[in-house]
Amino acid sequence: MPVFELYHGEISTCSQKVRITLAEKGQAWTSHHLDLRKAEQHRPEYLKLNANGVVPTLMVDGVPIIESSVIIQYLDELIPEPPLRPSDPLGLANMRLWMKRLDEEIHPLTGVLSSSIAFRFEDGHEEQIKTMINPAKRARKMESFLKGVESDLFRKALAGYDKLLGDMEKVIAADGYLAGGVYSLADISYIAYAARLHHLGLQGLFEDRPGLTKWYATIAARPAVKAAIDDFAPDHSLELMSSHGADSWPRIKAILGELRSEGSVAMAS
């Protein structure tokens, strides 16, 4: 087996996906932790490994692999047991579709929710923006830091998540898992983001979604998931997210109510 080294962030959702997969596959790895608040991911020596200036990067015998979804598929192909994918082509296609949606749509929304609710109150957040490589991401961060849950961006992120959770509920209530009726890389990917919602005090989004609620409880309790998420989350980050989450929940709940009634009006017309 190759030697694995992981450049990662302790509460980064993309890093959590890779740590879960490594744990599910029973692999040991060497940790290179980057402090994202100190913009360590933007340092020139790290940019040589990952030109996007983001975590995670998995080093395999000294060769970097970037992009969390690519990394976890690589690991599942390299180490076939236990399999973390459906065996039928349709299930596999659905697994990839969920992962694509996460990368393209949901990941940016998650940054908006987290920054608007909690990270805007953290020391040193300005430092991280200055050196950010991706201009669109920098603009989103700036707006979230300045306007918090009152920004238009936040409304859109909340609406996007509410739609996502509704879509997840339909599939999970019928099949138990996101793709092919088995625990897969799709569930591993989404559990990291579902945990973020819980950390931010957004459990209310799971109300009236019993399939999703059960799915979350079952998967979050897996030893590999606990080891990859809970064991790395520092108390001060959890406290930052839960305290600001609790403060803003009444306002968020009101915005959610508005969004849902706008949505149902749009559907009826």
Ligand X SMILES: N[C@@H](CCC(=O)N[C@@H](CS)C(=O)NCC(=O)O)C(=O)O
Backbone CA torsion sign across 163, 168, 171, 173: negative
CA angle 247, 251, 256 (to 5 degrees): 130
Q: In what order do the strands lie in the sheet with 57-60?
A: 30-33, 4-8, 57-60, 63-66
Q: Does 54 bind ligand X (CB under 6 A)?
A: yes
Euclidean distance between CA atoms 171 and 188, whole angstroms: 16
Which one of 4, 5, 10, 13 is in contact with ligand X (CB under 6 A)? 13
Comparing CB distances to ligand X, the nearer of 64 and 211 is 64
Which one of 6, 14, 164, 186 is in contact with ligand X (CB under 6 A)? 14
Binding mask 160-189 for ligand X (x = CB under 6 A): ------------------------------
Which one of 49, 60, 64, 67 is in contact with ligand X (CB under 6 A)? 67
Q: Does 68 bind ligand X (CB under 6 A)?
A: yes
- Residue 59 pairs in a beta bridge with 5, 64
CB of 56 to ligand X, least distance (A): 6
Total residues in contact with ligand X, by rule CB under 6 A: 17
* Terminal-to-terminal C-alpha distance of the chain: 58
Asked if 240 and 122 count as a contact pair (C-beta separation under 8 A), the reply is yes
Binding mask 69-88 for ligand X (x = CB under 6 A): x-------------------
Please report, as residue ranges, which positions from 29 to 48 form the binding site for ligand X (by CB under 6 A): 36, 41
In this structure, how many other beta carbons lie within 10 angstroms of the beta carbon of residue 239? Answer: 11
CB of 9 to ligand X, least distance (A): 6
Euclidean distance between CA atoms 252 and 249, whole angstroms: 5
- Residues contributing to the site for ligand X (CB under 6 A): 9, 12-14, 36, 41, 53-56, 67-69, 103, 128, 132, 137
